Chain A
Amino acid sequence: MASKIIETQDELDKKKEVIKVESVYFSYDGPLILEDINLSLHRADFLAIIGPNGSGKTTLLKIMVGLLKPQAGQVFLFGQRIEDFEDWYKVAYIQQNATHFESKFPVTVEEVITSSLYASRKIKGSPAGWRKARVEQVLDLVDLAGYQKRLMTTLSGGQQQRVLIARALATEPEVMLLDEPTTGVDHQTQENFYDLLGKLNHDYGLSIAVVTHDYGLVNKHINQVACLNRKLIYHGRHEEFCQSAAFKELLADGHHLVIHQH
């Protein structure tokens, strides 16, 4: 009986597990970039993946969304092996330098967001009125109401990033993975951006994993930290991280941090 209960609890935990990375090894035809990475992201977690340059953060994120295949190990999305996973509308990914698109690309905010609604068969074929309303709704969420007809190229870097967040939200994802989303924008814009992510996580229960150098900016919103340097040096609760040896190492590496305790 007892084992039955434990199993059920296990099942429940599994369901809550949005992403699970299990014993992952990766190299680009050379030395190992990632070694024995075990990491999990649960529903409504906000995880910051931090570490020095070249520590494998971007590679890990790409493995988590299936853009790269690990040499060994497994990735599970919503309890399913990534190879068998099909519900990609549940996963939003914002790549590094996502705003560095072709500078002459004549595309409106509405077109950028609408195109994502056709990416997956599960959302294809919805009526045009619904799509228009959805665009309006996600632009409201990122404080860009009324920007539908604006050309992407006429927006500021910060506004472009918010459009990309809006696009990511349009398919009602359950998890969002971002790779250094605030590179190249000013401090205030960065802060606003992480406040927006914090709101999405807090108010809507969106699970978030963000690769970042701005630990000082993001730490007031997160509850989990993964500190990476080829191996996973630390993975766990944010509060405990601040007391850990890995954190002191990070400080010694010259990261200027403002820590916001919950």
Chain B
Amino acid sequence: MLSSVLTSGFFWRAILAGSFLAVACGLLGVFLVLRQDSMISHGLSHLAFAGIVLGLVLNFLPLIVSLIICVVGSIFILKLKKQARLPGDAALAILASGGMALAIFLVSLRINFGVELMGYLFGDILAISPVEVGLSIILALMVTILILANYHQLLYMTFDRETALVAGVKVNSLDKILVILTAITVVLGLRIVGLLLVSALTVVPAAAALQLARSFRQTLVLSSLFSLFSIIAGIVISYVLDWPASASIVFLSIAIFLATVAGKNLAPSFKK
């Protein structure tokens, strides 16, 4: 069994794409959770799904179509939040339901989606193609590099937005960068864990890291490690036990989260 795992191209492609995505999710998630934007990935995932369906209907690279729609949608969320004076999650609810309505409408145009569509709903990392692996690595690297390059400014504005604005931090540009990076990550995550679980990838490892971390840097490192472990171990479990990868990954990350909460409660002095 083990030897068949190690020689399987599917398996290694999944591990490779998953690992890069894991780090991007781990880093991005910390900022989303602390900015109270956790639901943004949930809203965007519905829009990303509409993009996938559109790609399938047009018979043109679903991942790319989804990426374009999701990035445009993410900018729209920001605009809606700022101009319509809506609290963040109301804008997201509008977008999520709009995205899903569009997806349902597009699905009705073509009936024979079959397994393909299910793969995007529930995730199908073991079916990821070499092109998608390449794309995932490039985009995940881009997310990671942009976050690390703007690390201090992102920390400043996440901690104290107004003061950062006065101090000359390009808060509005960084808002855009963060939301676009989230859109990219969501589209990549869609392939791996599917629409229904993609927001777990960005939120759960970060939430676990927040329980233990004793500095901001540590939060980012822990969140990335938790995310990396969940994705790699989740893929291995799914391959060996024939479980769905998406469920294994999210189970593991939630198990880590619960363990950190329990650990913190058992040792209340740990954080001091």
A interface list, Cβ under 8 A from B: 65-67, 86, 88-89, 91-95, 98, 101-102, 104-108, 111-112, 114-121, 149, 151, 154, 171
Contacts and interface: CB of A to CB of B under 8 A. Distances in A.
B211 to A, nearest CB: 9
Interface of B: 34, 36, 152-153, 155-156, 159-160, 162-169, 210, 213-219, 271-272
A262 to B, nearest CB: 31
Main secondary structure of the interface of A (DSSP, over half): loop
A105 B34 contact: yes
B159 A118 contact: no
B214 A151 contact: yes
A105 B168 contact: no
B163 A115 contact: no
Nearest to A179: B162
Nearest to B154: A115
Contact of B215 (A93, A98, A117, A151): A151
Contacts of B159: 101, 105, 107, 112, 115
B160 A101 contact: yes
A116 B156 contact: yes
Closest 9 CB pairs between A and B?
A118-B152, A88-B168, A119-B167, A115-B156, A93-B166, A106-B213, A120-B168, A107-B216, A108-B215
A102 B165 contact: no
B166 A88 contact: yes
A27 B93 CA distance: 32
B166 A115 contact: no
Contacts of B152: 114-115, 117-119
18 contacts: A88-B166, A91-B167, A93-B166, A95-B162, A104-B210, A106-B213, A106-B219, A107-B216, A111-B155, A112-B159, A116-B156, A117-B152, A119-B153, A119-B164, A119-B167, A119-B168, A121-B168, A154-B272
A118 B153 contact: yes
